Amino acid sequence: MADKFDVVVIGSGPSGYVGAIRAAQLGMSTAVVEEWVDDKGATTLGGTCLNVGCIPSKALLDSSHKYHEAKDTFALHGIGVDTPSMDVSAMLQRKDKIVKQLTGGIGGLFKHNGVTVVQGRGKVLAGANVEVTAADGSVTVLEAGSVIIAAGSEPVTIPPAPVDNEFIVDSTGALEFTEVPKRLGVIGAGVIGLELGSVWGRLGSEVILIEALDEFLAMMDAQVAKEAGKIFKKQGLDIRLSCRVTDATVKDGEVHVTYVGPDGEYTEVFDKLIVSVGRRPRTRDLLADDCGVTLDERGFIFVNDQCVTEAPNVYAVGDVVRGPMLAHKGSEEGVMVAERIAGKPAQVNYDCIPSIIYTHPEIAAVGRTEQELKADGVPYKVGTFPFVASGRALAANDSEGLVKMIAHAETDRILGCHIVGPSAADLTQQVVIAMEFGSSAEDLALMVFGHPTLSEAVHEAALAVDGHAIHIANRKKR
């Protein structure tokens, strides 16, 4: 006889575990199906984000940035140190300890909230049932009142650069280098490529990023992307646009990469090559043919704005559905779905989801870009403020970048904010809150911001929208 639950969640990443906990909090019997196991055969919770994505990459980013500061900037503060050295093994151990602490914490939260963990690979059957194939090959079926699919995503591979997990690696392998590569190639100059390239570049790698697109960070506001590109160039990242890799071959312990650029064909030789050309939804072998759930042409599960699939009582959230692959976006969808199953009128405001690149300086954004508004014919006005005019940023020796605020030209409602600079992720969140409440640029301009703080740059950018900035010369408004 099959086990019965009110809610069965497939996947324990940020979308799945948050949705499961919320469902349990609302009084529903809840089970989470997770296929990942560690080298001892124990179920590993947390999905890509906690195990091989968001969390471990940020641990390495912070460690490498501290090394960079000790090596290159401490002297500016009058701090003298012997020549710094990096113990890569210790850095990786710290990263693994953080991952273990957080993934173990999910297990504790599940236990506290009464969530049942079922080890195995889940597959959605007709009638909102879930087939679970365990690591030992045994098969069970869970009967669910509702199913939440939160199976996550996986790295995209490309035929010219087959991943061997030794010399040619994906984003997971790039978190496990046991020594700093002298020459590092990165295919893809997007979020993952920039973050991983930054880690190893700070530690001494000569980094070349090979990007097929003609524009750098095309998904970001063009002004902010241009500013970020200048900063990364100063840091030593060699970003080559309009270049498509045609072959990557390992010879004598080195990776020989051939690519075609605007001026012809080139070859570079690297110690390691990271393939970071994006991620795809993990939906293969996830759905029975008769389950009623449909996929689009890119393999994403088709859902409406409430994450409802075309099958009764089956929902899908996070990386397996439309929209940006962001852990926080998936988490909020998980909460929304759990509450809607419980009969509550929850929703996600997709216009107020921040995006972040955790380089240094950080790049963060919420809302629409200037080029999007221009293409759609929306009247807008812009205010910018550079961190070089921020007393707090100068005091911290961290004054590269700017804040860009965009508001509707007629209503003054904030339409977007784009930041490259210190603490950009946290500063952008202030604007997320403002936008959630429908604030105008004037609303932010009238608020009192503490001094000296980095957040004053947000205040000044809001003032600059109408030409009222205090600490920079204002551009004349047409």
Q: Which residues are catalytic?
A: 451
Bridge partners for 383 per DSSP: 405
Q: Give the rounded distance of the alpha carbon of 55 from its chain centre.
A: 10
CA distance 414 to 435: 6
Q: Which of 23, 29, 26 is nearest to 5 (CA)?
A: 29
Where do we find the tokens 């697109």?
Answer: 213
54's tokens: 């968001």
Q: Are 99 and 58 in contact (CB under 8 A)?
A: no
Q: Are 28 and 115 in contact (CB under 8 A)?
A: no
Where do we find the tokens 């001026």?
Answer: 263
What does 154-178 look like in DSSP terms, one character per residue? Answer: EE---TTS---SSSEE-TTGGG--S
Specify the 3-state DSSP secondary structure of 367.
Answer: strand
CA distance 106 to 46: 7
Calculate Rg over the CA atoms of the chain. Answer: 24
Q: Are 417 and 458 in contact (CB under 8 A)?
A: yes
What does 436-470 look like in DSSP terms, one character per residue? Answer: HTT-BHHHHHHS---SS-TTHHHHHHHHHTTT--S
Q: What is the 3-state secondary structure (H, E, C) of 8-28?
A: EEECCCHHHHHHHHHHHHCCC
CA distance 384 to 392: 17
CA distance 59 to 331: 21
Strand segments, DSSP code E, in 3-134 are 3-10, 30-34, 116-119, 121-125, 129-133
- Compute how many other C-beta atoms are within 10 angstroms of the C-beta atom of residue 371: 15
